Structure 1
Amino acid sequence: MKADINHVIRFHYRVFALPAGGEALESSFEREPLTVLLGHSGIIAGLERELIGKSSGDRFEVEIAAADAYGEVRPDFVQRVPKKFFREPAKLKPGMQTAVGTQQGPRLVTVKKVGMSVVDVDLNHPMAGKDLKFEVEVVEVREATPEELAHGHAHGPGGHQH
């Protein structure tokens, strides 16, 4: 079966920042494959497009431009947040990643500067602005269940657990 929108695909991946040559930024080969319901924004757009048409056992490499990965760096995404919104404000240090509470739930941020009562944080994804190279191995492709389609995500190993 070839992967398409509304199919569930399980795959291993290794991702590198371009230009290549360094260590992988992240890899799934040492754990469960990632499981995604295609067409439901579960992964970056560029990688999802490349998975369409692939079958179990396929291996490929692809380079994804920043715009189709985690987006370009947005300077306006640096904001000043009162310390009261952090769980352990005394432990905050520039460069660390932490979660800050928002109306939409917790959001991962990178600490830029810690002041007396406020913290400057960068809301950009840590891989924003980076062109990426993926090494991918497709493990399984299957049709999504009606429940997965209704929920908008894959269930089971490597997917969402209810």
Structure 2
Amino acid sequence: MTNTATGITIPNHPQAADLLKVLQTPAPQLVERVRRGLPFTELEALREPLGLSLQELAAYAGIPSRTLVRRRQAGRLDPAESERVLRIERLLALATEMLRDVERARDWLKSPKTALAGLRPLDYADTEIGAREVEQLIGRLRHGVFS
């Protein structure tokens, strides 16, 4: 799959979803990137693997439509928005590692889960606490713990 916004080809293998290297980058570097604010192109790069429009992805990241327009013009997200985008990308990367397929991971993140009170993982992860719960669910599933 090729991301039309960035021209990056995303092969369908586990590392493909870690497009922004969130799982491979040391925490201090991620903290610094978030503090500076992620480039707007990173939000665009995450859109296609998730199969979402830019507006849908922005909504998951808590970025209102009018703010999205301003961020596109500025070319950079603010730190709070960057942290929420990184949270979503981390979940995609973890789900892809678990399922070994970007498309299956995307479908998993968009499907209701009993362990998450019937909510979709992307919806449940709208807070940091919810995202941690989704990460824990992925961990349990990876280790064969029925959830």
Question: Under TM normalisation by the shorter chain, which class is it?
Answer: under 0.3
Higher relative contact order (CA 8 A, sep 6+): 1
The structure that is helix-richer by fraction is 2
Q: TM-score, normalised by structure 1?
A: 0.24
Largest Rg, 1 or 2: 1
Tell me the TM-score normalized by structure 2: 0.25
